[in-house]
Amino acid sequence: MLNNIDQNCINMATSIKANIKPISDYAAILTEMEHWKEKFFDLQAQISEIRQTGTDTIIIKEGSTARYIRLDDIIMMQADSNYTTIQLTNGDKIFTSKTLKYWKDQISKYSDFIRPHRSFLVNSKHIISYHKSVRKLILNRGYEVQVARSYKI
């Protein structure tokens, strides 16, 4: 029979063994940390480059991340109740929990954006054509936007 002190020593040794990781796991963790550190510095460099070039950008928060989006890369914004879907030139769609009015206020100092309909905010640089008979704007990437009767083009 083991006395209490011996049993406690055995219990401590067992718990210490359970917390020890093999050296290969440690090396994998170090490698992954280096990878994410490089990614972080790359993103910092991209952000400083965007700021230095003077291009107009907005910050769009997606979950726990924030993206800098150039205004020239936005084709249009489409309202969906209290949400907005932002269509980008590279085909990405960003779904935000902000209203179209919020985004209009954010980019109000940029004259390239028009609001031809209460549900759309369009970058005029991406307008390909306007069909007067059906009151539609045709945009890059095949997007079509209805134009309100009260909107004057």
Kindly report, residue by residue over 20-33, the tens digit of the pLDDT: 667 777 888 888 99
Question: Order of strands, edge to edge, in the sheet holding 136-139?
Answer: 127-131, 136-139, 144-146
What's the rounded mean pLDDT across residues 121-138? 90
| Domain chopping of the chain, boundaries | 1-54, 69-153
Q: How far, in Å, CA of 72 to CA of 66, rounded?
A: 18
Residue 40 has pLDDT above 60, yes or no: yes
- 120-123 and 57-62 as β-strands: parallel, antiparallel, unpaired? unpaired
Residue 1 has pLDDT above 60, yes or no: no
The fold of 69-153 is: OB fold (Dihydrolipoamide Acetyltransferase, E2P) (2.40.50)
What's the rounded mean pLDDT across residues 3-24? 64
Kindly report, residue by residue over 110-129, the tens digit of the pLDDT: 778 998 999 999 999 999 99
Q: How far, in Å, CA of 27 to CA of 24, rounded?
A: 5
Quickly count: other Cβ atoms within 10 Å of residue 117's Cβ: 19
Kindly report, residue by residue over 49-67, the tens digit of the pLDDT: 766 665 688 888 877 888 8
Average pLDDT, the chain: 83
Q: Which of 29-38, 43-52, 68-77, 141-150 has the lowest mean pLDDT?
A: 43-52
